[in-house]
Chains A and B, each alone.
Chain A
Amino acid sequence: MNVILIIVFAISLIYLSITERFPVYAGLIGLQGMLLFALSFIELTTITLATLLFVALETLVFKVVVVPYFLFRIIHKTGVARVHDKAVPGFYSLIIVTAGLLLSIVVAFSMQTAPTAILNFIVALFAVYTGLFLIISHRKIFSHLVGFLVIENAVLLLSMAIGSQMPMLINIGILLDIFVSVLILGIFVMRLKGHASELTQLKDD
């Protein structure tokens, strides 16, 4: 079952790299959040029930509800719906992302990871690569935000693979979640209310 969820996660990463509309970004991030929520029930079976509930609840609240809500609110307030400026056209970004997939497999195998965690590891590396690529190849700050969220999802995915042995790692991942949600999005939506137009013109020369 977890295989299906991780594969859907990987497919969502591919769509993330080629899509151009901000609501689709927000929707895909929400989808990834839901997948991680379901995964937390399947993978983390050996930690205490209380920790498991905490992890699941946190993932549900922050990744599935709060973050997409804030993303949609930004889109609504600034009225920006499309990515207008991409440094790398769509076809090449697809090829680069596919190359990243192959690269992450090669890295995963050359590091001789344990067989139980290898699929998580591959997709997590792929997600880190895609998130970094999103940040590099787009010019709008919204896309950079989405890229950072993807990297953060990758960290959580990886920590779930070994979370049965190291529950502290998951807690650190969750702290990262809370940091992103509260600080960055809060600052964005609240403080930059008046400067909404700058969201579309930041880093745009």
Chain B
Amino acid sequence: MGFFLAIVTALFFPGVILRVKSVASGRKGPGVMQPWYNIWVLLQKGSVISSTTSYVFRIAPAIYLSTILIVLLLVPFPGSPALFGFNGDFVLFAYLLALGKFFFIIGALDTGSSFEGMGANREALYSMLAEPAFFILFGTLALFTGHTSMAQIFGAFHFQGYNLFILGFIAVYLLVQIAMIENSRMPVDDAKTHLELTMVHEVMILDHSGFDLALIQIGTALKFAVYGGLISNFLLPEAYPFAVRVALYFLVQLFFAMLIGFLESFRARKKLAKNPQFIFTLSSIALIAFILVLLLAHKMIG
């Protein structure tokens, strides 16, 4: 169930972000389905392949997309377990995304261009620094709820008492930031600047064209939907009936997209040298949340 909802979300997600950014800049902006029209056009095209590349370049986008599709199967929809949930599935979640990123990186290195090497380098570093925050967050949640499967964790997480509010707030904040970092958005990287020396994601796909580029763009849209799905799990209580939950889910995803659009429009990009520090800050904040839960678990407070 969550799988299909996420796919529907992914259909409007990049369009909403683009529209919000345009409106915030004072323009009218393209239609909400415009990115998917672009993808459709790309799927019809032939391909231009660099003569430096090998078979790795040809299989990398396919692996990137398939890892994201499978990760979608792991994300639970609030109230019902995921298709493939099991104990400790958040580890598989993180590592599947890492698999996709690995192939994305070596696909970029395959072209033998220094620009793509730069982007691959930065992407590897930033995603590596963001991993601990994700693991601390889920370790904290596992400690708090006593379960280790994502569906059960989210099911057991009820907003009772003030302590839970701050925990939920920190968790949502961390997930939003991790989503922005993983997709190389502000403040880590500006998706609009095509200065090769400063891009992260955009430069890695310079040599992809046609079908491969379409695969990558679909993957990016789906990735946003995945993180939005995780966030909605936090915010949606189980008690409501099914239709209300579906409506709320779409509402949360819409807000998430609009939030990303706003953050992109009103935030400046940090200096590249300051990025590792910013990303590692997330781990420190996650540690504070862990300490809170530790104190709760040892019955020290609340």
Contact = CB atoms under 8 A, between A and B. Distances in A.
Interface of A: 1, 3-4, 7-8, 10-11, 14-15, 18, 90-91, 94-95, 97-98, 101-102, 105, 115-116, 118-119, 122
Contacts of B283: 98
Contact of B285 (A3, A4, A11, A115): A11
B247 interface: no
Contact of A90 (B162, B274, B284, B301): B274
A18 B299 CA distance: 32
A194 to B, nearest CB: 35
Contact of B288 (A14, A18, A91, A118): A14
A122 B295 CA distance: 11
Contacts of A102: 287
A101 B276 CA distance: 20
B277 A18 contact: yes
A3 B292 contact: yes
Contacts of A119: 292, 295, 300-301
B280 A3 contact: no
A98 B292 contact: no
Contacts of B291: 101, 105, 122
A118 B301 contact: yes
A18 B281 CA distance: 8
B299 A115 contact: yes
A162 to B, nearest CB: 15
A14 B281 CA distance: 8
A14 B277 contact: no
Given A115-B299, A115-B300, A119-B295, A90 B277 contact: yes
A116 B277 CA distance: 34
B165 A98 contact: no
B168 to A, nearest CB: 11
B25 interface: no
20 contacts: A3-B166, A3-B292, A3-B301, A4-B163, A7-B166, A7-B289, A7-B292, A14-B281, A14-B288, A15-B281, A18-B278, A91-B276, A94-B280, A95-B280, A98-B284, A101-B284, A101-B287, A115-B301, A119-B292, A119-B300
Interface string B162-201: 1101100010000000000000000000000000000000
B26 interface: no
Contacts of B285: 11, 14
A88 B295 CA distance: 32
Interface residue SS majority, chain A: helix
Interface string B263-302: 0000000000010111011011101110110110001111
Contacts of A8: 166
Nearest to B274: A90
B277 A94 contact: yes
Contacts of B294: 105
A102 B170 CA distance: 19
Nearest to A115: B300
A141 B277 CA distance: 24
A118 B280 contact: no
Contacts of A91: 276-277, 280
A94 B162 contact: no
Contacts of A116: 301
B297 to A, nearest CB: 13
B287 A98 contact: yes
B301 A4 contact: no
B165 to A, nearest CB: 7
B277 to A, nearest CB: 4
